[in-house]
């Protein structure tokens, strides 16, 4: 059985972090995000190959993951000739498939039981199954309405107050039958939500929902990206190195913590990082590989990617710093500041 990961987006909502780093390999702590999705797919023994549908900086992704030997799954790379949309990408990547395929949006982190989703799909003999997740504020999303038997009735894009009949949204995870792909035009930008799924409803085909109310998040905005780190540190999503060690200050063996430095958990200090005397690493902070935090500096609720430099007496709060950023002495960054790679903030600046 195959899975398709739709990982071709440019990650525009995360810019400037994604100018040089495709969204699928944006780090969560010190691990590219795509690893977390592959971990979930590995829990289904039937899935023996993952097809990565790429478009933006595909070589960067392939350099990290290779052929999948280290993961126990075969990886295959399919590069779209142009952006084809969610349905167009599925058709392009899965045109030769003959059995049920799991499709995953490239920015979703979840603990859904894919085996249970597959079981429902087969039990209902569905042409398509979509995972839905409930949200607290349905006004902010496009909603998916079902009947009492879990059949999909309609999709509501940005519903008005009087149109809200449910609180379930598309979770970006599907099981599809390849014989339905012929309705997706070849080499054409086509939406799975706006065009492909409505065609199933119009034709009266079996299109069912699996409602999942566990952990689910779309990491595609700076706020959600920061939230993922908090959720893992708090144990809301179980992942190393905080699985079984929530609320702790996690320090890599190769990090250097000077006497007099303060670490307030939960926080994460990666390999080769240096925390100088008098520096304060406050809760929900991530200090990336080979980063340096000078005397008297403080980092709170911020994510600092590899090779960052936080100058003496500087303060970084609730922000995200790309690779090789330099924050000058006594500079202050208040949330939410997002800096791209190699950004320099001069001494005494305030953002």
> Residues with catalytic annotation?
158
How many other C-beta atoms lie within 10 A of the C-beta of residue 175?
A: 24
Nearest to 54 by CA among 77, 71, 85, 21: 77
How many other C-beta atoms lie within 10 A of the C-beta of residue 320?
A: 27
Tell me how far apart the 2 most distant CA atoms of the chain are, in Å.
Answer: 69
Q: Are 164 and 180 in contact (CB under 8 A)?
A: no
Q: Are 35 and 29 in contact (CB under 8 A)?
A: no
Instruction: Provide the token pair at 240.
Output: 């190393």
Query: Distance of alpha carbon 282 from its chain centroid, rounded?
Result: 24
Q: Are 231 and 246 in contact (CB under 8 A)?
A: no
Q: Are 189 and 81 in contact (CB under 8 A)?
A: no
Distances (CA, A) of 10 to 5, 34, 107: 14, 14, 11
Rounded CA-CA distance 180/130 in Å is 14
Q: Are 164 and 139 in contact (CB under 8 A)?
A: yes
Cα(first)–Cα(last) distance of the chain, in Å? 50
The residues, ordered by sequence, that sit 6+ positions from 108 with a Cβ below 8 Å of its Cβ are 37, 171, 172, 173, 216, 217, 218, 219
């Amino acid at each position: 059985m195959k899975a398709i990961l739709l990982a071709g987006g440019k990650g525009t909502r995360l810019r400037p972090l994604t100018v040089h780093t495709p969204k699928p390999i944006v780090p969560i702590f010190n691990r590219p995000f795509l690893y977390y999705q592959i971990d979930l797919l590995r829990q289904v023994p039937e899935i023996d190959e993952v097809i990565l549908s790429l478009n933006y900086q595909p070589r960067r992704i392939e350099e990290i993951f290779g052929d999948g030997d280290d993961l126990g799954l075969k990886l295959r790379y399919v590069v779209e000739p142009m952006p084809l949309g969610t349905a167009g990408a599925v058709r392009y990547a899965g045109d030769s498939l003959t059995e049920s395929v799991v499709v995953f949006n490239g920015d979703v982190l979840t603990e859904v039981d894919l085996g249970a989703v597959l079981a429902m799909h087969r039990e209902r003999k569905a042409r398509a199954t979509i995972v839905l997740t409930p949200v607290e504020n349905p006004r902010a999303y496009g909603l998916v309405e079902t009947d009492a038997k879990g059949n999909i009735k309609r999709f509501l894009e940005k519903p008005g107050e009087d149109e809200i009949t449910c609180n379930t949204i598309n979770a970006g995870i599907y099981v599809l039958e390849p014989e339905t792909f012929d309705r997706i035009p070849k080499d054409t930008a086509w939406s799975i939500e706006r065009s492909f799924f409505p065609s199933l409803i119009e034709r009266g085909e079996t299109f069912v929902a699996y409602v999942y109310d566990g952990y689910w998040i779309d990491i595609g905005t700076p706020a959600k990206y920061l939230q993922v780190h908090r959720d893992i540190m708090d144990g809301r999503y179980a992942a190393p190195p905080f699985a079984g060690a929530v609320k702790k200050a996690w320090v890599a063996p190769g990090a250097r913590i000077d006497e007099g430095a303060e670490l307030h958990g939960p926080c994460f200090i990666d390999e080769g990082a240096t925390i100088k005397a008098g520096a304060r690493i406050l809760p929900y902070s991530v200090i990336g590989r080979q980063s340096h935090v000078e005397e008297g500096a403080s980092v709170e609720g911020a994510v600092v990617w590899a090779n960052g430099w936080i100058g003496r007496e500087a303060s970084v709060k609730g922000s995200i710093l790309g690779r090789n950023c330099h924050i000058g002495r006594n500079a202050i960054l208040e949330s939410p500041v997002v800096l791209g790679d190699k950004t320099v903030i001069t001494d005494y600046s305030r953002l």
